[in-house]
Amino acid sequence: MAFLHSHATSFGYKQVPEEQKSKLVGNVFSSVASSYDLMNDLMSVGLHRLWKDRLISKLNPFPGMKHLDVAGGTGDVAFRVLERINSVSHRAMQGTLPYTEEDTQIYVCDINPNMLNVGKKRASERGYKEDNFLSWIQGDAEALSFEDGSMDGYTIAFGIRNVTHIEKALSEAYRVLKRGGRFLCLELSHVDVPLFKEIYDVYSFSVIPAMGELVAGDRQSYQYLVESVRRFPNQEKFAQMIQEAGFARVEYENLVGGVVAIHSGLKL
Amino acid sequence: MMRRTATLLLRQNGSGVGGGIPQALADVLVCPLSKKPLRYCEASGSLISDAVGVSFPIVDGIPCLVPKDGKLMDQDQKESEDCTRILPTTNEK
């Protein structure tokens, strides 16, 4: 039987053949795309905004940079990078900058076209002219369509746990970054703090799927979400994987006791 | 010397659907399978990877460069005159 010989990977707590995982993940995100932003706010009690802000300040964007945000279809991270760059530009108007603001390019890559369409729509609602600074590409984190050494920065926020082969995504991130480029990953992680861990578990397994049912009409997708977080490697293990992909100065920062972690690395 | 995608693509008048692809994308996009330059086919509005003989669609102005969504081109399509043979330009950003 083919199943016995194929590799299995985790989809939440279900073991599924590898080929199926990306299809199942795809279905999850087509389903969640429209209520994605609202659910993020509800599940994290608005905290995801602060977490993304923290991600951007660690990134330290600069005018003229080429930045790739992966799995960021709806544009949350991309808009923050742009806004940060705009504010840096204005503050630096007095002095001379090595790059002009016009060279700034933010590439948003997502495997799901629904998420990208939401992002594009939000971009125009915010008054960003089409194709000015922002580019939207449908692509696979495991096989990026960007040239070697083309990016100053790479971010992936709440996306890497959905990738079938994390090592491939990490080595692709390494490939597309320039020397001196930075890798940053914001992801749900592992809580070890006693008592808080138990509360967090109850919240995750009871409250979140119910919220998913109520708000998005989709309990199953949010059940998957919660399970995928538990199956994802812990902070130390993930840091090790980033190092194995070739990154140097790998470190991580826990937020809210490890509910989320920001891992970073440098391509030397 | 390897030709970059930028030299294989010509920015058409304006950007968006049916108008070629913007310079920002031409500068960095490559085939996700071979990592080699892509060519824009005006007739089909798709991006061609000659290295692996695969074409990738552009839908609503968004290039779809997921490997499994690429279409293998048959010999006829590869030699088709409909795809504009784009000359390299000196239009480097």
β-pair type (A134-138, A151-157): unpaired
**B60–A117: do the CB atoms touch at under 8 Å?**
yes
Whether the per-residue pLDDT at B44 is higher than 90: the answer is: no
Residue A7's pLDDT is 58
When pLDDT is cut at 50, 70 and 90, the band that residue A147 belongs to is: very high
At B54, which helix (H) or strand (E)? strand B54-59
B65/A148 touch (CB, cutoff 8 Å), yes or no: no
Pairwise CA distance, residues B24 & B46, whole Å: 17
pLDDT at B52: 93
User: Is residue B8 scored above 50 in pLDDT?
Assistant: yes
Quote the pLDDT of residue A221. Answer: 86
Looking at per-residue pLDDT, the higher value among A93 and A157 belongs to A157
CA triple A61-A65-A66, angle to 5 deg: 115
Chain B residues with beta carbon closer than 8 angstroms to that of A116 = 62
Nearest C-alpha of chain A: how many angstroms from B45? 15
Residue B93: predicted pLDDT? 37
Rounded Cα–Cα distance for residues A242 and A47 (Å): 26
Show contacts of A129-134: CB within 8 Å, 24+ apart: A130/B15, A130/B16, A130/B61, A131/B15, A131/B16, A131/B22, A131/B24, A133/A82, A133/A104, A133/A105, A133/A106, A134/A75, A134/A78, A134/A82, A134/A106, A134/A108
CB-based contact A140 B66, cutoff 8 Å:
yes
Do the chains contact at B66 and A111, CB–CB below 8 Å?
yes
Count CB-CB contacts under 10 A for residue A84: 18
| The pLDDT of residue A31 | 56
Per-residue pLDDT of A89-131, as tens digits, reads: 766 665 555 566 678 999 999 999 988 998 998 899 988 888 7
Q: Give yes or no for a contact between A128 and A156, defined as CB atoms under 8 angstroms apart.
A: no
| Whole-Å CA distances, A122 to A49, A126, A190, B18 | 16, 6, 32, 22
Q: Is the pLDDT of residue A6 over 60?
A: no
* Greatest alpha-carbon span in chain A: 69
**Residues in A touching B25 (Cβ below 8 Å):** 135, 137
CA–CA separation, A163 and A150 (whole Å): 22
B22 touching A, CB under 8 A? yes
Quote the ipTM score.
Answer: 0.81
A92 is in an annotated binding site: no
Confidence of residue A186 (pLDDT cuts 50, 70, 90): very high
Write down the pTM of the prediction.
Answer: 0.84
